[in-house]
Amino acid sequence: MKKILFSLAMVAIISCSSDKKSEGNLHITGNVKGLKQGKLYIQRIKDTTLVAMDTIVISGDSSFKTDLQIDSAEMLYLFLDRGETNSIDTT
């Protein structure tokens, strides 16, 4: 699990721009190497609670891309839910 999260952190490319307001001003793309199935949640803190801004379902292709609209700079968190698994790297 640590390898997957490290890969996710290293591979995710986050860029902000002011073009194309309809798509959002934050573009997140990445690839979770070796992941076949799961959900990736993009979360932010709102009133001391993590709130999901977007959910990306990964099924087969581990590449992902999303566009979000944010008003100001803020810390975002990526949470990977691999579902039920018998893998030893879930702890």
Q: Give the gyration radius of the chain's Cα atoms.
A: 14
CA distances from 63 to 28, 36, 44, 73 (A): 11, 10, 22, 25
Which residue segments constitute the domains of the chain, with CATH numbers given? 2-19+26-84 (2.60.40)
**Model confidence pLDDT, tens digit, residues 32-82:** 888 888 999 999 999 999 999 999 999 988 899 999 998 888 999 999 988
- The answer, as to whether pTM is greater than 0.85, is no
The pLDDT of residue 30 is 92
Q: Within a 13 Å sphere around the CA of 38, how many CA atoms are in the beta-carbon half?
A: 23
